Amino acid sequence: MVLARRKFLLGCFAGTAGAALPSRASAESYPLRPITIIVPFPPGGPSDVIARIVAERMREALGQPLIIENVSGAAGSIGTGRVVRAAPDGHTLVLGYWGTHVVNGAIYKLPYDVVKDFEPIARLPGQPLMIVAKKALPASDLKGLVAWLKSNPDKASQGTAGTGSIGHIAGLFFQKATDTRFQFVPYRGVAPIMQDLLAGQIDLAFPVPVASMAQARAGLIKAYAVMAKSRLAIASEIPTVDEAGVPGLHLSLWQGLWAPRGTPPHVIAKLSDAVVLALADPAIRQKLADQGFDMLLREQQSPAALGAYQRAEIDKWWPILRAANVKGD
């Protein structure tokens, strides 16, 4: 009886120990195959640029290739929704941004929740917008622009990439902060907006710095301010909105990396560590700075920091969007 009981207990112990091995092995072996990062926009945009720059360095830490797959459509919700339906094993991720993980939740009826259906991995650098105008506009600085707009209500025009785009929302934010009114003109992207601004067909635009600094430095357009708390390396001569007289008018096209809900914590931690290593690399930081991205402190990059920042942005922007009755096209 004693011998039989001892064999039984040893068998139970061996079974318990064996059951623990797969999870430990899985933690040590992840990733098991190449990782796909869905970028829910066409190649060449800010999300695509930062995905390719950061993934290049993450591969060294993870020991597997990171494949960038562009799945565009419906303001990023098609590619983002695909990740919601993916297996939560850390092999399919989405590089989203302010639009996909904040704005879309307010202006579209989505088949997923922008917060609850994702696990935050890391917040990534963003690109603060700039306030620029055609060369012939009379105002020489931001205060002058506000004064001119107040004197000419509804006469000026601003180019946007459509309803709910970051440029459109930047214009609404500007109007609310300055008590001004102007018209919105929709375009298919930033390039045609800048072309018409150079030609004097529209008065204002809110592009990212990399899309407008060459024209500003050449004196072809006027650059009034960067919508950020600090000046950017790529646009160090341009004052912030706080310096230029409209404090608090901050808007950045910030990015983040998310996994499907239910992805194990050890996988999230490993991915987060790989992002942190990538963003600490001087060569990567320089590439991002050259594209107009602002750098983040280490504590701003964590999964918890991304989750908290996303919720704070939702609290800030959803009331503005709903008050303006913004609906997705």
Do both 258 and 237 map to the same domain?
no
Burial class of residue 17 in the structure, from the number of CB atoms within 10 Å of its CB (0-12 exposed, 13-18 middle, 19+ buried): exposed
Do both 149 and 290 map to the same domain?
no
Do both 163 and 184 map to the same domain?
yes
Please determine, for residue 148, whether its predicted confidence score (pLDDT) is greater than 90: yes
- Which of 244, 268, 293 is where one domain is finished? 244
Do both 41 and 73 map to the same domain?
yes
Q: Report the share of the chain in percent with pLDDT over 70.
A: 91
Do both 174 and 277 map to the same domain?
no
CATH of the domain at 167: 3.40.190.10
Do both 224 and 267 map to the same domain?
no
CATH of the domain at 313: 3.40.190.150
Tokens found for residue 97 = 């941004």
Nearest one of 127, 128, 126, 130 to 216, comparing CA atoms: 130
Do both 104 and 181 map to the same domain?
no
Asked whether residue 183 is assigned to any structural domain, the reply reads yes
Asked whether residue 267 is assigned to any structural domain, the reply reads yes
The residue behind tokens 């913004």 is 326
Q: Which domain holds residue 97?
A: 35-126+254-323
pLDDT tens digits for 282-291? 999 999 998 8
pLDDT tens digits for 153-180? 999 999 999 888 999 999 999 999 999 9
Please compute, for residue 100, the number of CA atoms within 13 A of its CA located in the half-sphere on the CB side: 30
Do both 81 and 40 map to the same domain?
yes
| 155 phi/psi in degrees, rounded to 5 | -95, -30
Asked whether residue 9 is assigned to any structural domain, the reply reads no
Do both 137 and 210 map to the same domain?
yes
CA 295 – CA 300 distance, rounded (Å): 10
Name residue 311's amino acid.
R
* Confidence label for 27 from pLDDT (cuts 50, 70 and 90): low
Do both 235 and 148 map to the same domain?
yes
Do both 81 and 119 map to the same domain?
yes
- Which of 244, 269, 286 is where one domain is finished? 244
